[in-house]
């Protein structure tokens, strides 16, 4: 079984509240029936002392393609909230396509982009200052490992 088939990302629901925002309840309703049972999940194996699952080459390549326009950045969230950072970043970059900023811990943010032009504009167009902080960018790598004791970007 391909792992992609069992993923269940939230999508925007059609109904909105009086402020124009989608309600959490509506987003949850849209995903009813999308959950999977334990029988659908791949059977884990063991590699040495660690549990493992087999990922097909096709699924691996699809995920690499989906992530090829990602960037990683770092901000001090004691000085600015992620919401304020998102608003300022989108206003500065003015992306043509989809741009999502997702915090991943220790001040790191993954910037999901869906096209090369936006990635190049952000990567090459700096320096970017968000909330009086210089935004430190790194290209995304499938081998990026965030160590718990490391507090700086490469």
For residue 148, being part of any structural domain is answered with no
Residues in the chain: 154
E strands, 3-125, where? 45-47, 50-52, 71-74, 99-105, 108-113
Check whether residue 28 and residue 50 sit in a common domain. Answer: yes
Who wins on pLDDT, 33 or 56?
56
Give me the pLDDT at residue 35, please.
66
Give me the pLDDT at residue 44, please.
84
What residue numbers bound the domain in which 10 lies? 3-64
85-122: string of b/e by CB count within 10 Å (b at 16+)?
Answer: bbebbeeebebeeebebeeeeebbbbbebeeeebbebb
Question: What CATH number does the domain containing 113 carry?
Answer: 3.30.70.330
CA atoms within a 13 Å half-sphere pointing along the CA-CB vector of 69: 18
Check whether residue 134 and residue 72 sit in a common domain. Answer: yes
pLDDT tens digits along 76-117: 888 888 889 889 999 999 999 988 988 888 888 899 988 999
Q: What is the pTM of this model?
A: 0.59
pLDDT tens digits along 38-86: 777 778 888 899 888 888 888 888 888 888 899 988 888 888 888 898 8
């Amino acid at each position: 079984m391909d792992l992609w088939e069992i993923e269940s990302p939230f999508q925007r629901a059609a109904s909105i509240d009086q402020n124009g925002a989608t309600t959490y309840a509506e987003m949850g309703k849209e995903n009813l029936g999308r959950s999977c049972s334990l029988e659908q999940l791949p059977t884990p194996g063991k590699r040495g002392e660690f549990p493992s699952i087999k990922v097909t080459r096709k699924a691996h390549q699809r995920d690499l393609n989906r992530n090829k326009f990602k960037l990683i950045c770092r901000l001090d969230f004691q000085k600015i909230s992620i919401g304020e950072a998102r608003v300022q970043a989108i206003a500065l970059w003015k992306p043509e396509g989809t741009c999502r900023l997702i915090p991943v811990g220790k001040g790191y943010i993954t910037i999901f982009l869906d096209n090369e032009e936006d990635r190049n504009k952000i990567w090459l167009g700096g320096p970017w200052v968000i909330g009086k902080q210089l935004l430190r960018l790194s290209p995304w790598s499938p081998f990026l490992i965030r160590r718990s004791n490391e507090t700086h970007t490469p």
